[in-house]
Amino acid sequence: MTSPYEKIETPESLEHFRESILAKEKSDAKTMVVCCGTGCLASGSGDVREAFLKEIRVQEADEEIAVRQTGCRGFCENGPIVVVEPENIFYHSVKKDDAVEIVSETIKDQTVERLLYEDKATGQKCIHESDIPFYKKQARVVLRHCGHIDPTRIEDYIKVGGYDALAKTISRLSPEEVIACIKESGLRGRGGAGFPTGRKWESSRNAPGEEKFIICNGDEGDPGAFMDRSVMEGDPHGVFEGMIIAGYAVGAQKGIIYVRSEYPLAVRHLATAIAQATDLGLLGQNIMGSGFAFEIEIVKGAGAFVCGESTALVMSIEGKRGFPKPLPRPNTSIVGLWDMPTVLNNVETFACVPAIILKGAEWFAGIGTEKSKGTKIFALTGNVKNTGLVEVPMGTTLRDIIFDIGGGIRGDRQFKAVQTGGPSGGCIPESLLDLPVDYESLARVGSIMGSGGMLVMDERTCMVNMAHFFLDFAQNESCGQCTLCKLGTRQMFEILDDITSGEGRPHDVEILLELAEAVMAGSICGLGQTVPNPVISTIKYFREEYEEHIHEKRCRALVCRPLISYRIKEYRCKACMLCLKACPVDAIIGGKRQVHEIDQSKCIKCGSCMHACPRKFNAVECISGRISEH
C-alpha cells in the first residue's frame, strides 16, 4: 500500500506527524463510534455502521456527523455498542433500525434514553462508559486503546501516543536499559506460566547466535478465550510496538506473529498494520534514523492447542509438526527458531511494553501484588450477566470480578464455581470467592492463571460433566508423543464417561486421582502436566457429586441424561397433547381427555416434552435419578 504521508525519519518527525493529524480534526465534531470487534459484528454492528452512513446522507448531516469503527470495547453481552463523540454518550444493544432516531437526536443534541445502559442496582441510566459498573473497577492498560481507535488507521494510533515508546527507546535508551526497565517493572508472561519477561529478554540478548528472533504467540487455544484475539483486532500497532522494542533490546531484526487461522479479522488488521507501519518507516530499515532495522511477518497456525507450548510453536513455524521437544531441552530464549535465540511472549505481554517504557517500571510495579505486577485481561464467560473482556489489577478478587464487574449470576441463580485457566485450570468453589486473582493464589487452590479464561458456573452445572467436557478436549488435543498423556487422558475420559452414564464403579474416584498424578508426572509439556487440573479440583471441592453419580446414580444438576428422568404429574396434566406431539420417539402415552404418561423404556431424555408443556400447566418435571428408583 502507498502512504499519503512522508516517512517518519526521526522521533521529532513522529511528533510533527501527530500534530498535523490533530490539526486537521475538529474537537467538537460529532462522530458515531461503532464497535466492530468480532463479538459486536456477530450481533450486527456491521449493519449498524452501514445504517448510520445511509441515514446521515438521508438527513443531510454529512458535514455534521462522521462514522468510525473500533475494535472490541469489552462489554460483549450488550453489543452492538455505539458511542457518540465528543459527548461520549454510550448506547448499547443498538440495532440498524435505531440509526434513524440516533442520528436525528444527535443533530438536535438530544439523547436516546431507551438505548442507555441502566444500572440494575440503582435503576439509574448511565450516559457515559465511566458510569457503567462493568467499567468502574477495571484498570485498562493493555485495552486502553481498544474500542477507542480505528485499528485499520495508523493515524488513530499515533494520535493517542502510539510509537512514542519506540521513539523514546531508540533515541534515549540502550538495549540494556530497556531490559532493566522491563525487569524492574515485574512484568511476567501473560501466556500462562508467568515467567519474568525481563529475564527472558536478557537470556536471549546474552545468548550467542548469528541471528535472533521475536515471536508473538497469538494462537490462543483455550475454549472460550478471546483476549489476544480482541487485542490483535483492536490495537495491532500496540502489539507491534512492543515487539519492535523487544527486538531492539535483544538484538533481533525479525519478528513473527503466530496467529490461528480461525481469526480472520485479526489477521486482516495485523496485515494492514504491518503495511502501514512499513510505509511510514516504523518497520523496515533504519527506523526513525536509529540504524535499527526490524520487520514483522504473520504466520497462520492450524489451531493446535499443543502449539501453545514454546518448542511446539517454534516447530510449527519451521513447517514441522507441532511436537514439544523432549526433555531435557534448552529454553527457546537460547535455542529457539532455527536453533537461534528467540524471545517468545504472547500478545498481552508485548502490548504491556509500550506503556511500561512511557510511564516507567515503578508505575507498572505499583499495580497488582508483591509477586504479580500490573493488570490481567480475562475473558469473562458462562453463567454471568455481563460476559465480555475485563482488565483488572492483579490481586482483584474473584468476587469483585464476577459480581461487581460481571454483575452476578445470570437469572440471579446461585453461584457454584468458576474455572480459571481454560482446560488446564481448576474449578474454584463459592467458599473461595474472596481469593485474590494472581499467579500464586490460584496455584495454591489448584488452578492456574493460564492465558485468562474465566468460566462462571451456576447451580445448574454438573461438576462431573464439566470435568468430562474438558478431558474430552484435552485428550483430543494431545499430540500423542507422551504415552501417559495420550493414553492416560483417554482412560480418564472413559472413566468420567462411565460415571456420567450411570456406570461408575466404587473406586473410580481413586483411580482418577492416580491417573491424574501419573499423567502430570509423565508428560513433557504443559498440556499433560496441567490438563488433569479440572478433574483434581472438582474431586477436591465437589467430591459429593462424584459419589452421588457413582453410588446413587443421580445427577443433582439434572445434566447427565442417563441419570435423570422425566415424568408427568397426573394432577397437573390437562391432556392437551402438546407433549405427545413434540416427542420425537413416541414415548408419550395418552390422548384427548386422557392423562398422559411417559414410557421410560422409549424415553431418550431430550426434554422436548417439558419444553412443549405450557408454563401455566407445569405438568412435566425433570427429576434426578432413574424413574424406577422413585
Instruction: Enumerate domains of the chain plus CATH numbers.
Output: 11-135 (3.40.30.10), 154-365 (3.40.50.11540), 375-458 (3.10.20.600), 463-552 (1.20.1440.230), 564-629 (3.30.70.20)
pTM over 0.85: yes
DSSP code for 583: -
Residue 490 main-chain phi, psi, to 5 deg: -65, -40
Q: Tell me if 432 sits within 8 A of 445, measured CB to CB.
A: yes
Q: Where are the alpha helices (DSSP H) in 522-551?
A: 526-530, 533-547
pLDDT band at 326 (very low <50, low <70, confident <90, very high): confident
- Rounded Cα–Cα distance for residues 463 and 534 (Å): 9
CA dist 559 → 42, 364, 375, 414, 500 (Å): 29, 45, 36, 16, 9
pLDDT band at 92 (very low <50, low <70, confident <90, very high): very high
Burial class from Cβ neighbours inside 10 Å (0-12, 13-18, 19+) for residue 87 reads middle
DSSP code for 548: I
Q: What is the pLDDT of residues 437-448, one digit of tens each?
A: 999 999 999 998
Across the chain, mean pLDDT equals: 93
The residue-averaged pLDDT of 179-206 equals: 94
* Residue given cell 503466530 in the structure block: 258
CA dist 6 → 275, 278, 458 (Å): 14, 12, 56
- SS3 assignment, position 350: helix
- Rounded Cα–Cα distance for residues 190 and 192 (Å): 6
Residue of 259, 261, 348, 344 whose CA lies nearest to 309: 344
Q: Tell me if 552 sits within 8 A of 595, measured CB to CB.
A: no
Q: How far is CA 259 from the centre of its chain?
A: 14
Q: What is the pLDDT of residues 560-582, one digit of tens each?
A: 999 999 999 999 999 999 999 99
Residues whose CB falls within 8 Å of the CB of residue 350, separated by 6 or more in sequence, listed in order: 216, 239, 242, 243, 246
The phi-psi region of residue 512 (left if phi > 0; otherwise alpha if psi is between -120 and 50; otherwise beta) is alpha
Q: Is the pLDDT of residue 62 over 80?
A: no
Residues whose CB falls within 8 Å of the CB of residue 26, separated by 6 or more in sequence, listed in order: none
Residues whose CB falls within 8 Å of the CB of residue 127, separated by 6 or more in sequence, listed in order: 89, 90, 111, 116
pLDDT at site 74: 94
Q: Is the pLDDT of residue 630 over 50?
A: no
Q: Is the pLDDT of residue 416 over 70?
A: yes
* Beta strand pairing call for 125-126 and 117-118: antiparallel
* Beta strand pairing call for 342-346 and 254-260: unpaired
Residue of 483, 368, 467 whose CA lies nearest to 424: 467
* Residue given cell 468480532 in the structure block: 38
Residue of 330, 290, 281, 289 whose CA lies nearest to 310: 330
Q: What is the pLDDT of residues 435-483, one digit of tens each?
A: 999 999 999 999 988 878 899 999 999 999 999 999 999 888 888 888 9
The H or E element that residue 273 is part of is helix 264-279
Q: Is the pLDDT of residue 160 over 90?
A: yes
Q: Tell me if 191 sits within 8 A of 228, measured CB to CB.
A: no
Amino acid at 145: H
- Rounded Cα–Cα distance for residues 501 and 562 (Å): 5
Q: Is the pLDDT of residue 611 over 60?
A: yes
Count of positions (residues) in the chain? 630
Signed CA dihedral, 105, 106, 111, 116: sign only = positive
- SS3 assignment, position 58: helix
- SS3 assignment, position 177: helix
- SS3 assignment, position 283: coil
The H or E element that residue 620 is part of is strand 620-624
Amino acid at 494: E
C-alpha angle 498-499-505 in degrees, rounded to nearest 5: 90
Residue of 187, 214, 163, 172 whose CA lies nearest to 354: 163
What proportion of the chain, given as a percentage, has pLDDT over 90?
A: 83
* Beta strand pairing call for 342-346 and 30-35: unpaired
Cis preceding linkage at 80, omega within 30: yes
Query: Torsion angle, CA of 98/100/105/108, rounded to 10 degrees?
Result: 170
Cell of 382: 458462562
Q: Tell me if 52 sits within 8 A of 202, measured CB to CB.
A: no
Q: Tell me if 297 sits within 8 A of 254, measured CB to CB.
A: yes
Q: Tell me if 380 sits within 8 A of 419, measured CB to CB.
A: no
Residue 42 main-chain phi, psi, to 5 deg: -65, -25
CA dist 518 → 444, 470, 483, 495 (Å): 20, 18, 11, 15
pLDDT at site 302: 84
* Residue given cell 548469528 in the structure block: 210
pLDDT at site 3: 59
* Residue given cell 470480578 in the structure block: 401
Amino acid at 109: D
Residues whose CB falls within 8 Å of the CB of residue 445, separated by 6 or more in sequence, listed in order: 426, 428, 432, 435, 537
Q: What is the pLDDT of residues 216-259, one digit of tens each?
A: 999 887 877 899 999 999 999 999 999 999 999 999 999 999 99
pLDDT band at 422 (very low <50, low <70, confident <90, very high): confident
Q: Is the pLDDT of residue 27 over 80?
A: no
Residue of 468, 474, 469 whose CA lies nearest to 508: 468
* Residue given cell 515487539 in the structure block: 243
- Give the number of other CB atoms < 10 A from CB of residue 370: 11
